[in-house]
Chain A
Amino acid sequence: GENVEQHPSTLSVQEGDSAVIKCTYSDSASNYFPWYKQELGKRPQLIIDIRSNVGEKKDQRIAVTLNKTAKHFSLHITETQPEDSAVYFCAAGDSGNTPLVFGKGTRLSVIA
Chain B
Amino acid sequence: SQTIHQWPATLVQPVGSPLSLECTVEGTSNPNLYWYRQAAGRGLQLLFYSVGIGQISSEVPQNLSASRPQDRQFILSSKKLLLSDSGFYLCAWRGRRGRFQETQYFGPGTRLLVL
Contact = CB atoms under 8 A, between A and B. Distances in A.
Given A97-B51, A99-B34, A100-B104, A44 B44 contact: yes
Contacts of B99: 95-96
B101 A105 contact: no
Interface string B92-109: 001000011101111111
Nearest to A45: B106
Given A95-B101, A97-B51, A100-B104, A44 B90 contact: yes
Interface residues of A, number: 22
B104 A34 contact: yes
B74 interface: no
A91 B106 CA distance: 14
B103 A49 contact: yes
Q: How large is the interface on B (under 10, 10 to 19, 20 to 34, 35 or more residues)?
A: 20 to 34
Contacts of A42: 109
A46 B101 contact: no
Contacts of A105: 42-44
Interface in B42-81: 42-44, 46, 49, 51, 59
Indicate the member of A32, A34, A43, A94 with the most B CB atoms within 10 Å: A43
Interface of A: 32, 34, 36, 42-46, 49, 89, 91, 93-97, 99-100, 102-105
30 contacts: A32-B101, A34-B103, A36-B106, A42-B109, A43-B90, A43-B106, A43-B108, A43-B109, A44-B44, A44-B106, A45-B106, A46-B104, A49-B103, A89-B43, A93-B101, A95-B99, A95-B100, A96-B99, A96-B101, A97-B51, A97-B101, A99-B32, A99-B34, A99-B46, A99-B49, A100-B94, A100-B104, A102-B43, A102-B44, A104-B43
